[in-house]
Amino acid sequence: MTLNVKNCSFISLPTIKDGRDGILCVAEQFHTIPFDIKRVFYIYNLHENNAIRGKHAHREVEQVIFCIRGDFDITLDDGKNQQTIKLQKPNEGLYIGTYVWNVMTNFSDDCILLVFASDLYNESEYIREYDVFIDEVSKIV
């Protein structure tokens, strides 16, 4: 699948199959993750059929999102192009750069999301209203 939204790309982590002892998946900053990792968080227990996550964009923070269990849909929007993709493989993630609005929906009952972020949490860095996002992104050359 090709992404048609700016500042987004697919990330594939290398996997090491260890026979009957499972599969090891490795993420390394500036190698497989294209930034200095300052924060890691995960989201789980999304049992509500109508759960919605995201609904924001970042002015400065870059993120890589993996669905390490189950699956979900993520809709990306760069202010001009929108695209919905399904994340469902634990070693295949999605890089989301700055000024990309994202909305996550349709979580499977067993869904677990893992997120690497380029900076610490800072509420003032978030854009949480879509019309503000459109206004700000329209001013970026």
Q: Say if 119 falls within a structural domain.
A: yes
Confirm whether pTM is higher than 0.85: yes
Rounded Cα–Cα distance for residues 45 and 22 (Å): 24
Average pLDDT of span 80-85: 97
- For residue 30, give the 3-state DSSP assignment: coil
Rounded Cα–Cα distance for residues 71 and 103 (Å): 14
Q: Say if 3 falls within a structural domain.
A: no
- pLDDT tens-digit series, residues 5-54: 999 999 999 999 988 889 999 999 999 999 999 999 999 999 877 899 99
Q: What is the CATH number of the domain that holds 34?
A: 2.60.120.10
Average pLDDT of span 55-77: 98
Catalytic residue numbers read: 56
Q: How many domains does the chain have?
A: 1
Average pLDDT of span 76-97: 97
Query: Which pair of structure tokens corresponds to residue 46?
Result: 């999304």
Q: Say if 1 falls within a structural domain.
A: no
Rounded Cα–Cα distance for residues 8 and 101 (Å): 11
Which range of residues forms the domain containing residue 117? 8-138
Q: Say if 39 falls within a structural domain.
A: yes
